[in-house]
Structure 1
């Protein structure tokens, strides 16, 4: 019994380390892929300029796709790691959080497949900028953004489930729980609005700007805590 308890505790601590590292790697990859490359190459509503940008920076665009593939792998690690780490505190919510993250990751993978289609369209365009080719590329990019945005509603629900576990144990600081639940509600509300009330896009954009800090700090803070403190958690 004691050996089994020790083994489970060791697995829980390893899950904290793997999850923490995966979260940090994921954040760096997302800053590069979405924050730098995607935002600099893709011009909303301008298919021709977007195509020319990608044609001129095909290597950079492929690095964006690689960044998203790394994020998908890290998300799978987090799905497993969160479940293993949170299970001793609340098995039900831990399982829910794990499956919600896995579902989000599956949707992200589907979204990224459209960037692969964009890459193929650009490669076949032979530096041409016909409106048809430009629109094909833009349609794939738009599909990526739409599917990913819908997935982020589920991602927010995942964070809320994680926060519910955290709030039910004294092992995880309440400030971490609060930050994670705020991040979860922020993701879900913002992307629900983007998907179902797009006519107020300017208002949503402002709200997203306001909530960006808690959205980033919530998950980043939990990742750092897992690495620094979570790996030392005991069930005593």
Structure 2
């Protein structure tokens, strides 16, 4: 690999890491603060009243989700560029799965936009509630794909010479956690058990992605050239 390609890969690592960290911060606001405080489970009227009385906050939350979608697309392309010199086929798989997840998330965010529009009409509280909570239903489907994306990232990461094997393992565990939890969420009768499972797996789900993001920022921009070159054989099997 020439030095220009190495610099390109380092830039992809840096920008992907920055986008991942920004995404986590924006998600803390949009989901952790805005959505969780305004949307009350099984309380259609309370949720409706919250959305009406805090409509500006709700709009900012929607804007936050829009920013997250854009950052996700940046990560999709950045990780594709980062892993391409290591394993072209898996790089394409990683990028494609992240793109698919991003488009599903974008569709889910449109349900929030629709709910915000309904607040200015005579629509019933129940319909507004069902519209806004359909965001979670669609997003949950997307998180199944997101989990598969993390598994692919972790699998390749574990087979490089320069990404710590621990990070690869954490990514695979996080990926399986996302996929299993949100696959189970598609069965309403298992919701109580699934919620408990999600709480149990929340730490590895969070730590895996964050550790990789920090590594991309701190170490990805100074990747050892000789290790990258050693693994730039396209579709050849990654080193174990």
Residue 76 in 1 paired to residue 73 in 2? Answer: yes
Instruction: Specify the alignment match of 2:238 in structure 1.
Output: none
Residues 109-154 of structure 1, C-alpha deviations (whole Å, 9 max, x = no match): 00000000000011234xxxxxx52122112112211110000000
Instruction: Specify the alignment match of 2:6 in structure 1.
Output: 9
| Structure 2 unaligned blocks of 5 or more | 227-240
Residue 61 in 1 paired to residue 58 in 2? Answer: yes
Residue 98 in 1 paired to residue 88 in 2? Answer: no
What is the CA–CA distance in structure 1 between the aligned matches of 2:201 and 2:119, rounded to whole Å? Answer: 35
Matches for 1:223-234 after TM superposition, within 5 Å: 223-234=213-224
Instruction: Specify the alignment match of 1:114 in structure 2.
Output: 111
Secondary structure of 2:63 counterpart: helix
C-alpha displacement of 1:216: 0.7
TM-score (norm. length: structure 1): 0.93
Secondary structure of 1:74 counterpart: helix
Instruction: Specify the alignment match of 1:129 in structure 2.
Output: none
State the superposition RMSD in angstroms: 1.0
Instruction: Find the partner of 1:29 among 12, 15, 26.
Output: 26
Instruction: Specify the alignment match of 1:188 in structure 2.
Output: 179
What is the CA–CA distance in structure 2 between the aligned matches of 1:235 and 1:181, rounded to whole Å? Answer: 26
What is the CA–CA distance in structure 2 between the aligned matches of 1:137 and 1:234, rounded to whole Å? Answer: 53
What is the CA–CA distance in structure 1 between the aligned matches of 2:5 and 2:131, rounded to whole Å? Answer: 44
C-alpha displacement of 1:7: 1.0
C-alpha displacement of 1:87: 1.1
C-alpha displacement of 1:79: 0.1
C-alpha displacement of 1:198: 2.0
Instruction: Specify the alignment match of 2:197 in structure 1.
Output: 207
Instruction: Find the partner of 2:162 among 156, 171, 188.
Output: 171
Instruction: Specify the alignment match of 1:219 in structure 2.
Output: 209
| Structure 1 unaligned blocks of 5 or more | 126-131
TM-score (norm. length: structure 2): 0.92
What is the CA–CA distance in structure 2 between the aligned matches of 1:135 and 1:161, rounded to whole Å? Answer: 40
Instruction: Specify the alignment match of 1:156 in structure 2.
Output: 147
Secondary structure of 1:123 counterpart: coil
What is the CA–CA distance in structure 2 between the aligned matches of 1:226 and 1:31, rounded to whole Å? Answer: 21
Instruction: Find the partner of 1:88 among 72, 85, 90.
Output: 85
Residues 50-96 of structure 1, C-alpha deviations (whole Å, 9 max, x = no match): 00001110111011101100100100000001011111111111110
Secondary structure of 1:139 counterpart: helix
C-alpha displacement of 1:234: 3.2
User: How many pairs align?
Assistant: 226
Bigger helix fraction: 1
Secondary structure of 2:181 counterpart: helix
